[in-house]
Structure 1
Amino acid sequence: MEFDAVLIAPRRAESIARGYWQDRTINDDLDACVRRSPDKIALTALQVESGTTTRFTYREMASMADRIAVGLARLGVGRNDVVSMQLPNSWQFTLTYLACSRLGAVVNPLMPILRERELGFMLEHGASKVLIVPRVFRGFDFEQMAKGLQARMPKLEHVVIVGGEGIDSFEALLSEPAWECEPDAREILTRNRPGPDDITQLLYTSGTTGEPKGVMHTANTLMSNIRPYADAMRLGPGDVVLMASPMAHQTGFMYGMMMPVMLGAGAVLQDIWQPKPAIALIRSERVSFTMASTVFLTDLADALSDSAQSVPTLRAFLCAGAPIPGPLVEKARAALGAKIVSAWGMTEMGAVTLTRLDDDDERAFTTDGAPLPGVEVRIVDAYDAPLPTGSVGRLFVRACSGFGGYLHRAHQNATDAQGWFDTGDLAYVDARGYIRISGRSKDVIIRGGENIPVVEIEALLYRHPSIAAAALVAYPDARLGERACAVVVTKPGEHVDLPAIAGFLKSHKVAMQYIPERLVVRDSLPTTPAGKVQKFKLRELLREDA
C-alpha cells in the first residue's frame, strides 16, 4: 500500500525542535518495559459473556507480539501492508497491534458494529491484506460475514478467525505455534521495524461526504498526544487503566492500549460494556483511571448509587464524546469518589482539550477543557477572521498530533498551509482559555460517542420506494446524548412506518446503531430558497415534541 500522508513532512522539523515528536515507536516502549519490569502484569483482558480472564506480563506480551508478528509474516504481511481487525476489546487486539508494529505493517481497527456495507468500502479502500474477526461475538456470525466479503475482494488474501475451528483460526495461524523460536524469526522481526514517521494506524471516521475517510497516523503523531495527556492526568507506571470503550476508536486505541505501554502501567480490558463487571474489575485490579463517553459514566454512577459498593482506587474518569450534564457530574463525584474530567477530541488528532484535575467541578460540565501542550485553537468567522473571546465561530485546531491526511483523499484534508485544520465544529473560547463546543457546521449525529454517517443513511432513505424526501437529524437523549430521527415525506398514496424503515436499512447491511430510532412523517421539509433542507428547524420541532 502506498500512503499519501502529505501533512507529516511539512511540520517535522518544528515538531522535533520543540520536543513534541521524540522519534520513538511503541516498539521502543515495549522493549523498555521488558527490560525494566519483565514480570509486571501488563495486560488483563475480561470476556464478559464467558467470564474468562487472560493475563500477560510484559515479558509474555513481548514474546506473544513476536510470535504473532512472525505468523503474520508467514501470511505474507510486510512493511506497509494493512491488517484489519474487527475485534472487541481483547488481548488479541492489543497483541496484533504490537505484532504489526514489529513488522512495519499498518493496523486498521474496525468497530464490531460495522456490517457489510461499511466494511466493504473500508477494506477495499484500505487494500487490506488480512482481516481478523471473532468467530461469533454478541450472537453475530462474523466469520460468515468476513468470508462473504473476501469472496469479492481479491486483495483480501486472508481472513483469520479468533476462536475459529479450522486451519484459518487465529490460534492455528498466529498465537499457538512457537513462531518466535523459528530460525528466521529474529531477521523477520528486525528487518522492517517502522520509523516514527511511517504510517502505523489507518482508522476510518464517518464524515459528511457520504463515505468514511481513512485517517492516517504515525507513531510521532499518536505518541505526541498521549504524553501530555498522561501528564495532565498525572499517570505513571503505578497506574492501572480500565478500557471498556471500544479500542477501534481513538479513545480505546490511544489511551487504553498505547498509553499503558508507554507508561509501563497496567491495562485492563472489558469487551462488552456492563457496569457491574466494570465495578468488579475496578475493585479487583485496583484501577485508577478510565476514559469513556457519557453513557458509560451514567451507567457506572447509577450502578454504584444502587449498590453498597465503592471504587476507592479510581482517581479520575475522563469523559468525552458528548457534553456532561451538571447533575451527572455531581452524582458521579458522589458515587465514584473520583474526579470527573471533560475532554474533546477527534480521530484526526486525539484529545485536543481537557479540563484539569485541579479545576473546579463546574468546568467539567460548562466547558470542554483547555488545549493540551502542542495544541493551538482559534475561533474564526465565515471569512476566517479571528473572533473575540466569547464569540461563537468555526473551530480550527493546529496540533503536533494532527493526522497525516486522509488516505487517497488529500483534497479533503481540510488543512491550510499553516497547518490549521477545520474541525467542522462551532465553538467559543472563554476568558480562561477553555473552549466550549456549541454546535456543528458539519452534518453528523453522535449517538453514545459513535458518529452516524448522515449523508449515507439519507441516500439510502431516498431509495425507499415509499419515500419522496428524507432528512436525518439528531434529537436529545439523556443516556446516549443523541439519537437519530428520520423525518420523511412519503410519495402520494404511500405509507411508511419505523419498522419498515429499519427493515429496509437492515436489508442494505447497515449497522444497527446507524438505524433511526424515531420517525416523523411530514407533508414537506423546511428548505432555504435554494432548496437546502433547514435541519435546525427540524431539530427545533423534535425538541418541541419531546
Structure 2
Amino acid sequence: MADFDTGLGRNAANYAALTPLDFIARAAEVYGARTAIVHGGLRQDWADTYRRTRRLASALRKLGIGKNDTVSAMLPNTPAMVEAHFGVPMAGAVLNALNIRLDTESIAFMLRHGEAKVLLIDSEFAAMARQLKEQLPALKIVEVYDELGPPPVAGERFGELKYETLLAGGDENFAWQLPADEWDAIALNYTSGTTGDPKGVVYHHRGAAINAISNILEWDMPKHPVYLWTLPMFHCNGWCFPWTVAARAGVNVCLRKFEPKLVFDLIREHGVSHYCAAPIVHAALANAPENWREGIRGPVRGMVAGAPPPAAVLAKMEAMDFELAHVYGLTEVYGPAAVCAEQDDWAAKSVDERAVLKSRQGVRYHLQSGVTVLSPETMAPVRADGEEIGEIMFRGNICMKGYLKNDKATQEAFAGGWFHTGDLGVMSADGYIKIKDRSKDIIISGGENISSVEVEDVLYRHPSVLAAAVVAQPDEKWGETPCAFVELKEGAQVQAQDLIDFCRSHLAAFKAPKAVYFGPLPKTSTGKIQKFELRKRMKSNSAIDV
C-alpha cells in the first residue's frame, strides 16, 4: 500500500481557505474597468469597489474591530450594503445584516445578542438610530447617506461619523488576509422569531463561497451578468448573491424598494439578465399592466424561493419570457440549497404541466451533499411514492455552523446527522422533493390531514386571486377546518362562495376552505406571507369577513 500522506501535507503553495472575499479580488484584477454597481446616477467599477472595500476594512480595524467582532448593517439594497459584504469580513469581523422592516425593540435585541460593536445605518432610519444609541451607548453608529435616500439635515446627527468619512480614513491598499480557517464565521443572520426570540444563524466562509458558486452552477450564469437587487441583501445575505455577482464580475443594479413598474424600467434600461424574489414579488410582476413590459427583451432569468410558487404564476412568467428557476432552502442553509432542476423532456409538456413540475422543491444544489425526506422519529427514508409524508432534511457544506449562544437548539437542529428543516414533504419516484406544508401548517380535520399549500395552489389558479393563505380555524365538529385569506387583483370582484365552489371543483370537499376572508395579507419584508399572524387571528376570533 502506497503512503499518500507522509510528506504530502498542506502548505501555503497547495492550500488556501475557501472564502468569497477572493472573488472581489479577482474581479478587480481581471475586470477592474467593468461596471460593478449601478445606482441612480452612480456607476462604480470593480477596481474602485475593491478599493472602497479595503478602505472599509482598514477603517474598521482602526476602530478596534477584529476577528469575531460583529459589525451590523441596517441598509436597503444600496452600494454601501454591497461593500459591507466584503469590507466587514476583510477586517476579520462578522457581518450582521439586519432586517430593515423590524421595530426598534427587535433590532436592539439582535444587536445585544450578537454583541455588535459598530452599526452602519441608512439615513432613512435616523430616528431609530437615536433610540438605539440611548439603549446601547457603547455601540458606534456610522451614518450612511445614499443618493436616492434621505439627504443629511443641516445640524442634525444620528451617529458618530459618516460612512464616507469612515472610508476616507482607511487604506485602499489594506493588506487583508484570508481567514486562518475557512470555518471562521463570516455572517450572522437572525431568523424571523415567530415564536420567542429570533435565533442567530452563523455562516462560515466555506459555506458562503460554496453556495455562491452553486448559484452560478444552478443558473449556468455566464460572465458579467446584470443582476437586479429585488431580493433584500439582509435576507440570508441576499442568498449569497453579493458574492456570486463578484465571482462572475457582474453588475449589481441596486434597488432601495421594490416597485413593479420601477423593476420593469430598470430591466429595460440596464438589460437586467438575472434577479431573485419571493413568490409574492413574482406574482406582482406577472399581474402588472402589460404596457409596463414593453421594450423588454428576454429571456430574463429569475429565481423564486419561499413558499411553493403557484402553478398559475409560473405559467404567466413563462409567457412573459421570464425563465424561473425554483429554489428552496432556509436561513440555516444560506438561503437556497435545493433546486428544481429542469429535465429536457419537460419542454414537450404543456405550460400547465411544466408549471406543476417546476413548482416542486427539487434536488440538492450542486455543492450540497444531500437533501431528502426522512421520518423525524426514526430517521428512516420515506417511500419515494409522492404520498408518504416526512420531514425535509439537508446535510453538507451549505449548512450553518449553528445557532449563536444556543447549544440546545443547535443540537436539536442537527440531530441524527441531518439539518431538520421543520418542513413536511414527500419524495417522488424521480427523486424530487415537494413541500406539503410546515409541520405547524398541516390542518387536521376529522382525523384527515389537509395540506394548506395544496389548497393555496388551487386558489392561485382562480383569475381573481392575487395572493392567498390557508390556515386552520376551530370547528366544534371537526376539531379544525381550513379557512382562506385572500387578496384580490385590482378591480376584481368575487364572492367567498365562488372561491369555495372553485376549490371544491378541484379538491376533495373536505379540503376546500369553509370560510374566505378578504383583505391585505400580513407579509414579511421579503414578501413572505406571515401565516402565524393569520393563525393568531383565527384563534382570537378576530378575523372578519370584509
Matched, 1:333 2:318: yes
Structure 2: which amino acid aligns with 1:396? M
CA distance in structure 2 between the aligned counterparts of 1:474 and 1:111, rounded to whole angstroms? 30
Unaligned runs of 5+ in 2: 1-9, 146-150, 347-353, 443-451, 457-470, 472-479, 490-521, 523-528
Matched, 1:372 2:356: no
| 8 Å Cα contact 1:101/1:194 also seen in 2 | no
Matched, 1:168 2:155: no
CA distance in structure 1 between the aligned counterparts of 2:533 and 2:424, rounded to whole angstroms? 26
1:386 aligned to 381, 392, 408, which one? 381
CA distance in structure 1 between the aligned counterparts of 2:212 and 2:246, rounded to whole angstroms? 11
Counterparts in 2 of 1:316 and 1:98: CA distance versus 1, 3 Å: same
Q: Give the Å deviation of 1:433.
A: 1.1
Higher relative contact order (CA 8 A, sep 6+): 1
| 8 Å Cα contact 2:340/2:362 also seen in 1 | yes
Q: Match of 2:302?
A: 317
Q: Give the Å deviation of 1:367.
A: 1.1
Matched, 1:214 2:200: yes
More divergent stretch after superposition (211-220 vs 352-361): 352-361
* Structure-to-structure mapping, 1:156-235, within 5 angstroms: 156-162=139-145, 164=152, 166=157, 168-175=160-167, 177=168, 179-180=170-171, 186=174, 189-190=175-176, 195-207=181-193, 209-235=195-221
Q: Match of 1:101?
A: 89
Q: Match of 1:153?
A: 136
CA distance in structure 1 between the aligned counterparts of 2:536 and 2:239, rounded to whole angstroms? 37
Structure 1: which amino acid aligns with 2:128? M
Question: What's the secondary structure of 2:393's corresponding residue?
Answer: strand
2:230 aligned to 244, 250, 257, which one? 244
Q: Match of 2:104?
A: 116
| 8 Å Cα contact 1:133/1:146 also seen in 2 | yes
More divergent stretch after superposition (22-31 vs 315-324): 22-31
Counterparts in 2 of 1:311 and 1:322: CA distance versus 1, 3 Å: farther
Q: Match of 2:462?
A: none
1:338-389 deviation digits (Å, cap 9, x = unpaired): 2222121111113122122546333455412222132312322352232211
2:430 aligned to 405, 429, 432, which one? 432
Question: What's the secondary structure of 1:150's corresponding residue?
Answer: helix
Question: What's the secondary structure of 1:85's corresponding residue?
Answer: strand
1:302 aligned to 287, 292, 312, which one? 287
Counterparts in 2 of 1:192 and 1:330: CA distance versus 1, 3 Å: closer
Q: Match of 2:331?
A: 347
Q: Match of 2:68?
A: 80
Matched, 1:68 2:21: no
| 8 Å Cα contact 2:69/2:93 also seen in 1 | yes
Q: Give the Å deviation of 1:157.
A: 3.4
Counterparts in 2 of 1:242 and 1:281: CA distance versus 1, 3 Å: same
CA distance in structure 2 between the aligned counterparts of 1:22 and 1:394, rounded to whole angstroms? 36
CA distance in structure 2 between the aligned counterparts of 1:213 and 1:239, rounded to whole angstroms? 34
| 8 Å Cα contact 1:342/1:364 also seen in 2 | no
Counterparts in 2 of 1:443 and 1:515: CA distance versus 1, 3 Å: closer
Normalized against structure 1, the TM-score is what?
0.72
Structure 1: which amino acid aligns with 2:329? G
Normalized against structure 2, the TM-score is what?
0.72
Counterparts in 2 of 1:388 and 1:148: CA distance versus 1, 3 Å: same
Q: Match of 1:53?
A: 41
Q: Give the Å deviation of 1:416.
A: 3.8
Q: Match of 2:126?
A: 143
Q: Match of 2:245?
A: 260
More divergent stretch after superposition (27-36 vs 299-308): 299-308
Structure 1: which amino acid aligns with 2:170? W
Q: Match of 1:126?
A: 114
Counterparts in 2 of 1:317 and 1:280: CA distance versus 1, 3 Å: same
CA distance in structure 1 between the aligned counterparts of 2:61 and 2:403, rounded to whole angstroms? 27
Q: Give the Å deviation of 1:129.
A: 0.3
Q: Match of 1:441?
A: 439
Q: Give the Å deviation of 1:280.
A: 1.5
Counterparts in 2 of 1:61 and 1:212: CA distance versus 1, 3 Å: same
Question: What's the secondary structure of 1:348's corresponding residue?
Answer: helix
Question: What's the secondary structure of 2:61's corresponding residue?
Answer: helix
Q: Give the Å deviation of 1:314.
A: 3.7
- Structural RMSD (CA): 3.8
| 8 Å Cα contact 1:44/1:56 also seen in 2 | yes
Counterparts in 2 of 1:302 and 1:258: CA distance versus 1, 3 Å: same
Q: Match of 2:17?
A: 23
CA distance in structure 2 between the aligned counterparts of 1:264 and 1:479, rounded to whole angstroms? 41
1:42 aligned to 36, 40, 44, which one? 36
| 8 Å Cα contact 1:30/1:261 also seen in 2 | yes
Counterparts in 2 of 1:300 and 1:432: CA distance versus 1, 3 Å: same
| 8 Å Cα contact 1:282/1:313 also seen in 2 | no
CA distance in structure 1 between the aligned counterparts of 2:285 and 2:228, rounded to whole angstroms? 13
| 8 Å Cα contact 1:208/1:442 also seen in 2 | no
Q: Give the Å deviation of 1:251.
A: 6.5
Structure 2: which amino acid aligns with 1:25? T
Among the aligned pairs, what percent are the same residue? 26
Counterparts in 2 of 1:238 and 1:392: CA distance versus 1, 3 Å: same
Q: Give the Å deviation of 1:143.
A: 1.6
1:277-328 deviation digits (Å, cap 9, x = unpaired): 1112112221111110111111222225344614324442111112211221
More divergent stretch after superposition (369-378 vs 195-204): 369-378
| 8 Å Cα contact 1:241/1:288 also seen in 2 | yes
